[in-house]
Amino acid sequence: MNDRRSFLKQSSLIAGGLWLSPSLLQARQKISPNEQIRVALIGANNMGFGILRHHLALPEVECVAICDVDQNVLDKRIKEVEEATGKKPERYTDFRKLLEKKDLDAVIIGTPDHWHCLIAVAACQAGKDVYVEKPMANSIGECDLMTQAAANYGRIMQVGQQQRAGQAFIESREFVKSGHLGKIRKVNIWSNFNYGLGNEVKPATPTPQGVDYDFWLGPAPKRDFNPNRFHGSWRHFWDYGGGLMSDWGVHLLDMAIWVEENPAAPSTVLTYAKNVNKENRDRDTFDTMNVLFPKKDFLINYDMNGGLQSGPYNKPYGIAYVGELGTLVVNRSGYEIYPEWDGTAKAAKCEVKKLEGTTESHNLHVANFVDCIKTRNQPSCPPEAGRLAALHAHIPNIAARIGAEQLIWDDAKRQFIGNNEANKLILPEYREPWTLPKL
Ligand SMILES: NC(=O)c1ccc[n+]([C@@H]2O[C@H](COP(=O)([O-])OP(=O)(O)OC[C@H]3O[C@@H](n4cnc5c(N)ncnc54)[C@H](O)[C@@H]3O)[C@@H](O)[C@H]2O)c1
């Protein structure tokens, strides 16, 4: 191809959303059919499509189908994949039909949280591997079902807690585990985001053309359509999500659990939850929460403010591992160690370390999943890790909903001790004809 033609070809790819470079497209053509990994995307509006793009950046991955209950999203995403890869994915509106496909190795689940369990278990039962977005599910009990399903049916399940693949977090974990910071006494976590307030109240509207809203609701209670309870902003309503507590909580709490000697479920959990700003806001979830998780090795201290966007160390969100010799502060952009001062020796108690300019790590998390599809090794965020992180977010939400300051979780029995009201929220009640998956 002459330079101008190759430039034009590259420009058209850029216009089409450049996610596949010409060299990658060439590499794809060299992959033999038995080396190919065939994936399908279920839930394609936002994050799911981002995750699909990272899959397609690997030459051996092909997108064979896309499924969504919003035909507008479906048409747009099918067109984008066809433009980028030259192959048109099949079109599905019902994931059950999609899962009947034989030439399909894995599914990516990018639906709202209330759908994760039903789709993931059905996928495991159909013999497909699963990349499921975080939080693993919208309830404690559904996470359990998914963990069991992956084990029972021998499937690879990667939960979308991609920080586990991030350089800043991997190095931070090494500093904590190597003793560089001395004994860790606390892990302080904060997440302050304006979007945590939810949208302003809006009137109900007719369901948009092309949307099967009854299917979108699925196992959740029947409701009239309201844009606030739809794409993106569903996360502020208990029926579909857990607000800022589970949206960001699972990512950040995962990083505290990950450095534990033996990562464990919480037992006693102390929760303070309040709605400071709910005026004219449409949401069920809380904007202000502080949660204490006393763990065997240290105390986890989680501080959340929806509607604020600044925080400690001039970061809206972050994790501070507080050690006897120094504190390491990390988020997706990097980390820095703040040493304690030894007054006698007139010296810092530990060496200062810093890493700047790191970015998102979805691509590496996806690459790990695809590698595990081939090797059958456990991925970097296996179901149990997803379940533990989700537990740390769902327990405070349950406490907030029932107004309990303290809850005690018995992980062996999978129930709360002495609180029946909390126990009732371990699993949601599914709306017919949907029923909880049977394993
Ligand atoms: N890992 C991360 O950093 C990260 C970031 C953002 C979102 N997420 C997670 O990704 C998931 C999706 O979030 P989002 O913001 O992209 O949501 P979204 O509302 O933008 O998109 C969800 C899509 O799923 C579709 N859908 C709903 N029910 C369906 C069904 N039964 N079958 C097929 N399609 C269905 C919707 O029509 C919509 O197109 C959530 O679990 C969210 O927590 C993860």
**Residue of 69, 136, 209 to mutate, ligand 1, most atoms within 8 A of C-beta:** 69
Q: What is the position in ligand 1's atom list of the atom closest to the CA of 94?
A: 32
**Residue of 68, 75, 111, 215 to mutate, ligand 1, most atoms within 8 A of C-beta:** 111
Of all protein residues, the one whose alpha carbon is nearest to atom 22 of ligand 1 is: 111
Cα(53) to centroid(ligand 1), Å: 15
* pLDDT for residue 29: 87
Does the pLDDT at position 4 exceed 70? no
Q: What is the position in ligand 1's atom list of the atom closest to the CA of 235?
A: 43
Q: What is the position in ligand 1's atom list of the atom closest to the CA of 111?
A: 24
Rounded Cα–Cα distance for residues 218 and 175 (Å): 45
pLDDT band for 15, please (50, 70, 90 cuts): very low
Of all protein residues, the one whose alpha carbon is nearest to atom 17 of ligand 1 is: 232
b/e sequence 2-25, b meaning 16+ C-beta within 10 Å: eeeeeeeeeeebeeeeebbeeeee
* pLDDT for residue 102: 97
pLDDT band for 25, please (50, 70, 90 cuts): confident
Please list, in sequence order, all residues whose beta carbon lies within 8 angstroms of the beta carbon of residue 86, skipping any fewer than 6 positions away: 25
Per-residue pLDDT, averaged over 353-357, amounts to 98
Rounded Cα–Cα distance for residues 380 and 372 (Å): 9
Of all protein residues, the one whose alpha carbon is nearest to atom 39 of ligand 1 is: 45
Using one digit for the tens of pLDDT, what is the confidence trace for 168-190? 999 999 999 999 999 999 999 99
* pLDDT for residue 335: 98
What is the DSSP annotation of 21-52?
Answer: -HHHHHHHHT--GGG-EEEEEES-SSHHHHHH
Looking at domain 3-163, which of 3.40.50.720, 3.90.180.10, 1.20.1250.20, 1.10.540.10 is its CATH number? 3.40.50.720
Cα(229) to centroid(ligand 1), Å: 13
CATH 3.40.50.720 occupies which residues in the chain? 3-163
Cα(141) to centroid(ligand 1), Å: 20
Q: How far is CA 116 from CA 47, 108, 159, 430, in A?
A: 14, 10, 11, 13
CATH 3.30.360.10 occupies which residues in the chain? 164-359+383-423
Cα(46) to centroid(ligand 1), Å: 6
Please list, in sequence order, all residues whose beta carbon lies within 8 angstroms of the beta carbon of residue 123, skipping any fewer than 6 positions away: 99, 107, 109, 129, 130, 155
* pLDDT for residue 18: 53
Rounded Cα–Cα distance for residues 296 and 267 (Å): 10
CATH of domain 164-359+383-423: 3.30.360.10
Task: Give residue ranges with CB within 6 A of ligand 1.
Answer: 42-48, 67-70, 73, 95, 110-113, 115, 133-134, 160, 162, 215-216, 218, 231-232, 234, 247
Does the pLDDT at position 1 exceed 50? no
* pLDDT for residue 22: 85
Cα(105) to centroid(ligand 1), Å: 21
Cα(148) to centroid(ligand 1), Å: 23
Which one, of 31, 9, 32, lies nearest residue 22 by Cα?
9
Using one digit for the tens of pLDDT, what is the confidence trace for 315-338? 999 999 999 999 999 999 999 999
**Token digits of residue 297:** 């090795």
Using one digit for the tens of pLDDT, what is the confidence trace for 107-166? 999 999 999 999 999 999 999 999 999 999 999 999 999 999 999 999 999 999 999 999
Q: What is the position in ligand 1's atom list of the atom closest to the CA of 231?
A: 19
Q: What is the position in ligand 1's atom list of the atom closest to the CA of 233?
A: 19
Rounded Cα–Cα distance for residues 140 and 246 (Å): 12
Cα(408) to centroid(ligand 1), Å: 31
Using one digit for the tens of pLDDT, what is the confidence trace for 193-221? 999 999 999 999 999 999 999 999 999 99
SS3 at position 15 = helix
Q: What is the position in ligand 1's atom list of the atom closest to the CA of 67?
A: 33
